[in-house]
Amino acid sequence: EPFIVQNEVAAFDFGKPYNCWIAYNNLTGTKKDRYFTSFEHRYDYTPINQIDATRLAFTPVVVDVDGVKALVAESNVEGYPGMFISNADGDYILDGEFAPVPAEEVVGGHNKLQGIVTERQNYIAKCDGESVFPWRILLVTDDERSLAQSDMVYRLADPCRVENTEWIAPGKVAWEWWNHWGLTGVPFKAGINTETYNYYTDFAAKYGIEYVILDEGWAELYLNDLTKVVPEIDLKAIVDHANSKGVGIILWAGYNAVKGKEEEVCRHFAEMGVKGFKVDFLDRDDAQMVDFQYKLAEIAAKYKLVIDFHGCPKPTGMNRTWPNVLNFEAVLGLECSKGRRSLRFNVVDYDLEIPYMRMVAGPMDYTQGAMRNVSKKNYYPCNRRPMSQGTRCRQMAMYAIYFSPLSMLCDSPTLYDREAECTKLIAEFPTVWNETVALSGEIGDYVAMARRNGDTWYVGVMSDWTARKVELDLSKILGEGDYVAEVYRDGVNADL
């Protein structure tokens, strides 16, 4: 019979004030709902009993138990809310907390794209008869490298529900939002218009990049109607041009523009020849929002569309159940470098924490690939001419280190053409792998990852601002025989 889940008790008692890496909710759009967050926040390294009692954190969380690492995560969250972590009592226990089901949701937030919950029920889930509840995971290891290659969250999720997966095509995406449609030297005015997107398509075809994304701005603002395209865009012409070049078009869409219209939206744009959607501003993981994600994934699969969730909860294995969901954000990615938020935390250290924590949950759309790269003292936030902290090779190494089956090339075709040697390698990077080995690393300090696609191994290494030499034992991945290595490294003055 149908039943209601009032609450769940999930408590991880570590017995002592061990330090943990924890990422708090970042309240976005409203401060009235403590469960409303974009799931993008830096990590604090703090004793368990000093966790901010007024705030919630999201998983995965890693606890440093005298050198042994214990990671708290979850998998197979369906028809149920995701688990937050809190510590209201100042003890040594990480307590699970779950968002109640919304009782009332209104349109609001950024450009009226978000569903703002103004009232919640007194229960966390409503179940229809026999139900399968999420896994609670505690990964324990004395070798933190193993966290960076763990796929336990994926393995514990329900098996694939797509009967024929041959049409599902992971790949790379040329993206315009981060570089602010930053084309130069072209005979047209760059911006949200047909000429600009056809140029991006031609760039993608030139380098063998599988997709181009049309981010926010192609549809009329505030209407939440994706059929109302701005007059500067001839969407059918863009899609036809891309398909003629062997490039797929992915459309950005806000939550409110899709919710309740999943079938209509997917059918309309699939018939036009669109290949998928980047759906943004979900900002919750209560049971209602989780249901929305699964419903959209199923309907999108019916119309052979891929999905990239942004402003979304961390993955909990949905990409196994619905493999047309290629990627999830839920990470403080490169887009933060455009604004002043990047001045409030150490971006370079954060980049070396997420392989051991956030990436354990599943794919992450960090949106790497910046071609303007600067040292710490030369960095400043800039919206129209954005830059990354760290070196060029650091950005390139991310394609080997971060698992991202739909992987963005965030910068302008103008800069990629100027740096063609780097662009060629990035464009050739696989986005799915036959084998992954974490060669070396320490949380927040450095990471060295090796991933194999076919007969070729790709090795990426990133460090923090500290200069270091890392010796890699390639016997872990290579057998007997002779090998040829192609090496990309930064210039001798890259740290100046």
Catalogue the active-site residues: 280, 335
Q: How far apart are CA 139 and CA 148, in angstroms?
A: 12
| Chain position carrying tokens 């744009």 | 269
Q: How many residues does the chain have?
A: 496
Q: How far apart are CA 66 and CA 208, in angstroms?
A: 48
Question: Could you tell me the two tokens for 129?
Answer: 């008869």
Residue 447 CB contacts under 8 Å (≥ 6 apart), including other chains: 148, 352, 355, 356, 401, 438, 440, 441, 461, 462
| CA 249 to centroid of chain Cα atoms | 19
Q: How far apart are CA 358 and CA 203, in angstroms?
A: 32
